[in-house]
Amino acid sequence: MKDKKSKPAAVPATKPAGGPILRYADYLQHEITHAPKRTKGERTKEALKLGAIRVLDDVGYHAMRVSDLCEVAEVGSATFYLYFENKADITLQVLSDYLAHGVDMLPERVAGTSIFETICASNLRWLEIGRANAGLLRCVLQLGDEEPGFRDLIHRSNRAWYERIALSISRRTPDGTISEDAALLAAYCLGAMMDEMARKLIVYPDPHLLDLISRTTPTDAQIAEFFAVLWHRSLYGGTPIKGTLAPAARSVADLHL
Does one domain contain both 123 and 244? yes
Does one domain contain both 133 and 221? yes
In a domain, 135, yes or no: yes
- State CA 100 to chain mean position distance: 10
Domain tally, the chain: 2
d(CA 117, CA 247): 17
Does one domain contain both 40 and 94? yes
CATH (domain of 69): 1.10.10.60
- DSSP SS3 for 250: helix
Domain range for 71: 24-100
Task: Evaluate whether 24 touches 136 at the Cβ level (below 8 Å).
Answer: yes
Residues 191-216 as b or e (16 or more Cβ within 10 Å = b): beebbebbbbbbbeeeeeeeeebeee
What does the pLDDT profile of the chain (257 residues) look like in tens digits? 434 434 433 333 334 444 678 888 888 888 888 878 788 899 999 999 999 999 999 999 999 999 999 999 999 999 999 999 999 899 989 998 888 776 666 666 555 578 899 899 889 988 998 999 999 999 988 888 888 888 888 888 889 888 988 888 888 776 767 888 999 999 999 999 999 999 999 999 999 999 999 999 999 999 999 999 999 988 887 788 888 999 999 999 988 65
Does one domain contain both 189 and 240? yes
Domain C-terminal end among 100, 130, 152? 100
Does one domain contain both 114 and 96? no
Does one domain contain both 78 and 161? no
Does one domain contain both 88 and 182? no
Domain C-terminal end among 79, 100, 121? 100
Closest Cα partner for 126 from 118, 217, 214, 151?
118
